[in-house]
Structure 1
């Protein structure tokens, strides 16, 4: 079989390693940081994520730590009106075959990491920052920042939105700054008043802002994420910010919305970035995956889900020897491109047309959403949550 190098030890990179290892290949995961760990707080996982997680053998472990949400709730953040609800219990699970849950990112990452550590053909390497690659008919050589190199039969670039592999393969420069700033806080649930402990993912939409909250950590914490369309032009990642500043950035909050936002402590801020969809994900024995291939804004809650899907589709197509890898990578990119590009563009649109209108446009949006039945809402998300790859499934592989 082959030796596959994976650049990046995040959710997508570890999932890719597991999926490829199941085909009998040796895998080396190169992580630039000094430890394998996942940063961040809450994350939403749709049924399509569990389609992938179950095939990677970690679905049960993720379910054990997940909060099973009763509904997605869309609220008018200024009036307090509940505009639309999408139930996520029996009828939803019957239609899509899996639940919709929220988890702490670590509760998704740790099962993947444990599975990689238990896999005899997966080698995990820290302090290995990939800076480029060369290749010939016989394989790929990956250059590291410390001057050393690693050789293999293929390279999967899963090294995030600022991927060094993508920089060489696509060459499209820095990510696109969205102009939206997000503020995040996680607080213990005992600090949340009883009347605000909802088993929902709730989104409050206001003029050029929106605010999302849900329980994580098995219900022990409340995850708060408030986004402001402030036309920011410079990328920021995880910087501390004063509580007073956060509260000042969200005008016109209704009473309940303000109560929730005021619960936040130790806020941190990011300026959100993504990239335009591109068609060239592969270069011979090299392919991109996850945020390296299709970074998207958080508004469709599908970034991690898409990376997990990528990993399973990729692994399923690499049921081959080293000489056949390049055409299989091309097939993988063709299988994944249109779906992920659509998700990227839909996420952008949601952050402007759906979440941030004001005045008459906000009223028209509310009228439109309120008119949807439960079945209508399920139909709207079917293309995302009801994922089934074109090739069919056999024992976790896509053929």
Structure 2
């Protein structure tokens, strides 16, 4: 039986483990933290994510934990004007074959973790930080910070935006710092005025800032995420932020959005980072996946979705004939995935620049442009991303 080693036990790593084990491989997942757990707050899942989750066998488990929202709503953050909205119920689900949902990151992670624990061919090892790899024309070996060595026919680097596997494979240094700071808070829904408990993902766009909120935890909590284009030059992750500081960063926010922002407590901040798309994802029997391969800004809400897609494609290619030629299977995987993920990376950047942060006349022009799309026009605009069932951009 073929052995696969996966560096990283996040969403992408666990999804890859499930997919590759289903293809007949034994799998060892090496996670740097002692415990397998997912940190963070809310996450959005498009129909393409559910297509992948269904193929991984965990779609229903995630649906049981998800909130199925009615629309994506775009608001002018300073005037309070409703610019446009994309309905996500009947016609949307019929066209794209699955719902659009929001979940706490843990509510996506846990079903994947449960699936790994239930599979006798998957071994989960915490407290093993992968720092590099070795190979010599044959199997690939993950090397950990304590000198441990784990050898497999294939090594998958799913170890995040600062991937050690990527650094050895590509040597392209630190991620690109976007200059955008995001502040996040999760609050109980019973603290939200009833008239503001919208079953939507709502985005308020302003000059060099935007504010997003939506329900998670089965509707028991409201996820708040406020982003400022402040030129931040140093990458930070999950650092506590004073409530007064957060409120002071968004002085032009309209009354309704301001009322929601003021509900936030125990804020934490991140400086958003990504990388440029690259053509090289593989080195012999080593390949990258998820944020290690194509880290993207959050603005297209596709980071986790595309990692799930990666996992499904990888598992499909490593089964059958792929097991006899793992290096070739990895090359085919990269060739199938890199065009679609590169487009998602670049679209996410441009959404931040052109849609979320314009000011003055540029903001007015944006509002007019978005309002002119209509429902079908909005569906057409996202079809390449939300509607994919092949995960290669072919629809």
- Map of 2:312 onto structure 1: 312
Cα RMSD over matched residues?
1.2
Q: Secondary structure of 1:346's match?
A: helix
Alignment-derived partner of residue 252 in structure 2: 252
**What is the distance in 2 between the residues matched to 1:292 and 1:321?**
22
- Per the TM alignment, residue 323 of structure 1 is displaced from its structure 2 partner at its CA by 3.8
Question: 2:3–2:26: 8 Å Cα contact kept in structure 1?
Answer: yes
Instruction: After superposing the two structures, state which structure 1 stretch, 136-145 or 23-32, moved more.
Output: 136-145
Deviates more, 1:312-321 or 1:197-206: 312-321
Task: Establish whether residue 368 from structure 1 lines up as the match of residue 390 from structure 2.
Answer: no
User: Counterpart of 1:333?
Assistant: 334
Q: Deviation per CA, 1:256-288: give whole Å up to 9, x if none.
A: 011011010000000000000000000000000
Preserved contact between residue 75 and residue 82 of structure 2 (Cα < 8 Å): yes
State the Cα distance separating 1:353 from its structure 2 match: 1.0
Give the C-alpha shift of residue 138 in structure 1: 2.7
Q: CA deviation at 1:391?
A: 8.4
3-state DSSP of counterpart to 1:180: strand
When normalised by structure 1's length, the TM-score is: 0.97
Q: CA deviation at 1:89?
A: 0.3
Paired residue for 1:396? Answer: none
Task: Calculate the TM-score normalised by the size of structure 2.
Answer: 0.98
C-alpha offsets along residues 345-379 of structure 1, whole Å, 9 cap, x if unaligned?
Answer: 00000011110000000000000001111100000
1:41 aligned residue: 41
Q: What displacement does 1:321 show? A: 5.8
Q: Which runs of 5+ in 2 are unaligned?
A: none
- The 8 Å contact of residues 2 and 321 in structure 1, kept in 2 or not, is answered as no
Following superposition, the deviation at residue 251 of structure 1 comes to 2.4
Q: How does 1:136-285 map to 2 (within 5 A)?
A: 136-285=136-285
Is the 1:210–1:356 contact (alpha carbons within 8 Å) kept by the matching residues of 2? yes
- Work out the CA distance in 1 between the residues paired with 2:277 and 2:332: 17
* Aligned twin of 1:294: 294
User: Partner of 1:271: helix, strand, or coil?
Assistant: strand
Question: 1:6–1:13: 8 Å Cα contact kept in structure 2?
Answer: yes
Counterpart secondary structure, 2:107:
helix
> Deviation per CA, 1:171-211, whole angstroms, max 9, x where unpaired?
10000000000000000000000011000000000000000
Q: Counterpart in 2 of 1:352? A: 353
Q: Which moved more, 1:361-370 or 1:145-154?
A: 145-154
CA distance in 1 between counterparts of 2:54 and 2:300 reads 22
Give 3-state SS (helix, strand or coil) of 2:367's partner.
helix
| Separation (CA, whole Å) in 2 of partners of 1:184 and 1:312 | 30
Once superposed, which parts of structure 1, at least 4 consecutive aligned residues long, lie more than 6 Å away? 390-393
**Distance in 2 between the 1:297 and 1:247 partners?**
23
Q: Following TM superposition, by how much is the alpha carbon of 1:254 offset from its aligned partner in structure 2, in angstroms?
A: 0.8
Report what 1:380 is aligned to: 381
How many Å separate the matches in 1 of 2:53 and 2:318?
18
Equivalence map 1:22-61=2 (5 Å): 22-61=22-61
Residues 207-248 of structure 1 show CA distances to partners (whole Å, capped at 9, x for unaligned) of 000000000000000000000000000001000011000010
Deviations 1:310-331 (A, max 9, x none): 0000000011364400001000
Question: Shift of the alpha carbon at 1:388?
Answer: 2.6
2:43–2:103 CA contact under 8 A, matched in 1: yes
The change in CA–CA distance for 1:246 and 1:392 in structure 2 (over 3 A counts) is closer
Q: Secondary structure at the match of 2:325?
A: helix
Say whether the 8 Å CA contact 1:43–1:102 is kept in structure 2.
Answer: yes
8 A contact 2:282–2:288 mirrored in 1: yes
